[in-house]
Structure formats: structure tokens, C-alpha cells
Amino acid sequence: MTIDGKTRVCGLMGDPVEHTLSPIIHNTIAEHMGHNLVYVPFHVKKGQVGDAVKGAYELNVLGMNATVPHKSDVIPFLKEIDPLAENIGAVNTLVRIDGGYKGYNTDMTGLGRAMEKEGVNIAGKDVILLGAGGAARAVAFLMADRKADTIFILNRTYEKAKEVADEVALKTGARIIPMPMSDYEKLPLKKFVCVQSTSVGLHPNDEDVILDDPAFYQQLEVGIDLIYKPAETKFLQLCRKNGANGFNGLKMLLYQGVVAYELWNDVSVGDELCKAVERKLIEAQ
């Protein structure tokens, strides 16, 4: 691409940030769509996020992503915030508006887009979330927003599952049932969409899995692992072996970037371009 006086800048602020795959997503889309835009990483240390947001606006930066440890810390420095991001309490995309930036959580809208592309409609479905950390909490809000019928949160520590369930139910009115992981056999005998939101199975511990009972996987219609390295976790292997479809977290990474790009540029990114970007992400791992 040619960088000139009309080139717009977008970027990612995080600490660390050097490992990011996000430039692949945004610079590939910009190149294919003929946009005069470049996306770069910005190393912003914890405690400096307010200065970074103000500086980005003054430098006419079109949009920003935020990653660890800034997703919650950035919120006080926003001009506006999207309702889903506000409920979750985390922002990963800043969109330039008059006087500042509006915050969105495209991690979750990206996961929602990934599910749509995989033919997974959450409305009226029963959902299992494995884990009760920050990722599971965000997914619970997404599933409530997508009108899931009942959300079961299974966690090794029941108290943590109950804490997340109570908060999401209070804010959304969704039906959410916390359970200790050891009680998985007490789940209703029906088909579920299951999201694996823990770090169990993350490389290099490729053979680890949070549940290994085939009977559990036989109740799944779809399994989604938020891990994308390895591409085929033990969780996904068990899903497929027992008749469930499944996909990993690379699609969430892809579509969180796609949604952010669309918000910044007021465009729609087509399926073929998304597939081309996904191939580049796979090659880069």
C-alpha cells in the first residue's frame, strides 16, 4: 500500500502487544477493499490508557482496539458505550465519534457473527458454559442478548458460577442455572450448545480437557472452544467423535476484527474476504 497524507490510522493498545495477529486482519481487509488505512500495534502500559485515548483522538486516529490489560480500564475515558459492552464491563473496540470514542465489545459480537456463519442460532436454545471466568461471563451476556432459553454455567467452584449467574440474570432477566462441574450428569437430557471458555487444553497442554465423559458430549449439538491454539483441542475432538459440530476461537478472533473494521469504516466485509483473512490467520499461527 501507499502511505500518504490521506492515510487513516487504526491500532491496538495493549501490554504486551507484540504477539498480536490483529494487523493481519485489518491490513488485509484494507488492502482488498482499497481503503487508505493502516493498522499498527501500540504498546500502552497499565495506568496510561487515559493518556493513550486522549492522544489517539488528538492525533485523528480513526479507531482503536483494546486488549489486556485495558479492556475495563478504558471505559472511564469513553464518550459513549454500547449497552452490551456496558453490561459486560469490557470494551475492545473504540469507534471515533464527535468529541471522543464510543466503546463496543466486538469480542462478543464477533462470536455472535461466527455462530451465525456456522449456522448456530441461539434463540430458544439451551446453552452450557464451561467455566465462570471473565470470558464465560461475557459469553453469558451474549447468550442472554441472543435470547437463549436456559444458560447453565458449570464451574469447578460453584460459588463463582453462582456469582456470574446472579449478575447476568439480574442485568438481563435471563434464566441462568449455576452448577458445580462435578454435577454435569444432572443436566437435563436434551441437546445443548456448549461453549468451552476455560484455558484447559491451551497449547502446550493440548491433551487436557475439562470433561472427558463421552456421555456429556453426546448431549451436545454444537461445541465452541474459545481456544484457537491448538486448532483442534481435545474438547473439539470429543465433540466431533460424539456427533456434535464444533469450531474454535479463531473464528471469534476473525470476526471481532471484522466487526471492528466495519464499525470504523461504515462498510460490510463480504464472506469471501473473511475466508481469505481466516486463511492468513491460520498460516500465521
Residue numbers annotated as active site: 71
- The grid cell for 153 is 454455567
Side chain identity at 187, as an amino acid letter?
Answer: L
The span from the CA of 276 to the CA of 27, in Å, is 12
Strand partners, 220: 192
Beta-sheet strands, E only, within 69-228: 80-81, 93-97, 100-104, 126-130, 150-155, 176-180, 192-196, 220-225
Closest alpha carbon to 256 in 142, 83, 109: 109
How far does CA 241 lie from the centroid of its chain?
A: 26
CB atoms within 10 A of CB 150: 17
- What does 186-241 look like in DSSP terms, one character per residue? GS-SS-EEEEE-SSTT-TT-TT--S---HHHHTTEEEEEES--SSSS-HHHHHHHH
The span from the CA of 75 to the CA of 49, in Å, is 10
Check: CB of residue 196 under 8 Å from CB of residue 223. yes
DSSP 13: E
Closest alpha carbon to 96 in 65, 134, 57: 57
Question: What's the Rg (C-alpha) of the chain?
Answer: 19
The span from the CA of 238 to the CA of 226, in Å, is 15
